[in-house]
A = this chain, B = another copy of it.
């Protein structure tokens, strides 16, 4: 086909799709959004199509963005507003000109439709999908559809391997000269389970190499990186991280700066929002990060409990088998251990409060939480055996010894110094105790709701916010006895959290008298 005459060039000169970019400061997290006036030619062409996607270019970069129409005077004529994600991906400066046009359809969306139709996808299919995810070409509804399709039609093992590989390939990969490179991971869902700084200290004190990259919280009140940050800087780039590891044998830094498996960060947010978490996506999420981090030996902690991610022993068994199978495909020697996931670990929930528990264990303080200590030495013991630093059956006793004689504590201090200087976790100025209104025995603790209370109090952005848990399963409680104390940095956040704590109910279950 051709246009009949050359005047079409003249017509094209009329395309008034060049607009002055304006940074609106609207943070949509992932989705790139362009805001355009309802009376502009593009909006008139697109009409009031829901979820319309347009191509936006500034000469240097090009993105696909969701079009939101603006009928107010928020935008001037010839202005286009951009969300933060769109602004950053286009690398714009205020006043830059952007051009809007019709995008070609994404062929990877056809692959999602094939998955919806229960077809099995191949390695290139997953790579194309993941590359589009990382490039920001999906809208939130596409992400949601992909995540839902992979949960509805269970991924076969070869699909899990393909997805894991695609996610690994779509980001940075670390390479290390030392061998082995040991690592641990806890398959989430248990507040306060902050063993990592202790495990790294023990293992590195025994001569193994453990370059740990940890995440910040996504929906939880604290990630390991958030907790570690209250004791030392964690925002290190790769060269700085290498220097720490070469000097001390271990580190605990934030993985975000390192950009390992960035697709995981995007997909996991949608999975959390939908509260779905299929086995295939969980495995790809965990292992893509470990492969990208260059790990060779890995211990996986699977807490099992009614409000933990893994609900029962049978599920733990199946998940464990699949994790080990996929890890082996990538040359990773892995072990899984199932642990008690019925209640939070330690006393604190929230970055600084969890850091206090970590320090108490490392410093062998009287009253240090025994459950956190036990979990840490058990995991460290497994790693010491797996990494060849202890004979089989002797790992845990070595770990205990290294903790008792304060070699782990000294190693932790040196790691903190190497990361930029050790510091004291902060204290929250506003606190409020929640007490039992009758006597009874503690029969259940809802991990989810307790985490939500801590989060609404401001954790993890407010480092000192969160809660201290005063009871454990099986404790006999008197009426008026404190159950937990909420910590916050402002009265507003304290109130927002208490409002939830009071209405949610069932956070701490007491037996009938």
Contacts and interface: CB of A to CB of B under 8 A. Distances in A.
Contacts of A26: 35, 68-70, 72, 74
Contacts of A12: 495, 498-499
Given A74-B26, A140-B140, A269 B51 contact: yes
Interface stretch (A141-149, A295-303, A356-364): A141-149
A152 B145 CA distance: 10
A45 B496 contact: yes
A111 interface: no
A314 interface: no
Contacts of A455: 45-47
Q: How many copies does the complex hold?
A: 2
Nearest to A72: B25
A374 to B, nearest CB: 29
A113 interface: yes
A397 interface: no
B276 A1 contact: no
A403 interface: no
A512 interface: no
A104 B49 CA distance: 31
Contact of A148 (B149, B269, B494): B149
A140 B143 CA distance: 11
A487 to B, nearest CB: 13
A163 interface: no
A494 B47 contact: no
Contact of A25 (B47, B50, B70, B483): B70
Interface in A148-170: 148-149, 151-153
Given A50-B269, A434-B1, A492 B70 contact: no
Given A1-B437, A140-B140, A217 B47 contact: yes
A46 B459 CA distance: 9
Interface residues of A, number: 107
A458 B42 CA distance: 9
Interface stretch (A14-22, A240-248, A407-415): A14-22
Contact of A461 (B44, B102, B151): B44
Interface string A6-18: 0010011111110
A116 B502 CA distance: 32
A270 interface: yes
A84 interface: yes
B434 A27 contact: no
A44 B483 contact: no
A218 B49 contact: yes
A49 B436 contact: no
A276 B146 CA distance: 12
A11 to B, nearest CB: 5
A38 interface: yes
B68 A15 contact: no
Interface string A471-510: 0000000001011000000111111111111110101100
A274 interface: yes
A455 to B, nearest CB: 7
B491 A14 contact: yes
Given A72-B24, A461-B44, A3 B275 contact: no
Contacts of A270: 50-51, 141
A327 B45 CA distance: 37
Interface in A44-58: 44-51
A50 B83 CA distance: 14
Contact of A16 (B16, B434, B482, B492): B492
Nearest to A146: B148
Nearest to A8: B498
Contacts of A3: 432-435, 498, 502
A456 interface: yes
A257 interface: no
Given A44-B462, A112-B274, 5 more contacts: A8-B432, A24-B74, A116-B151, A141-B273, A141-B274
Nearest first, the 3 A-B pairs at minimum CB distance are A25-B72, A152-B152, A41-B492
23 contacts: A1-B505, A1-B507, A2-B434, A2-B436, A2-B502, A11-B491, A12-B495, A12-B499, A16-B492, A17-B492, A25-B74, A27-B48, A27-B70, A29-B48, A41-B490, A45-B497, A49-B219, A50-B270, A112-B274, A113-B275, A113-B276, A141-B274, A145-B145
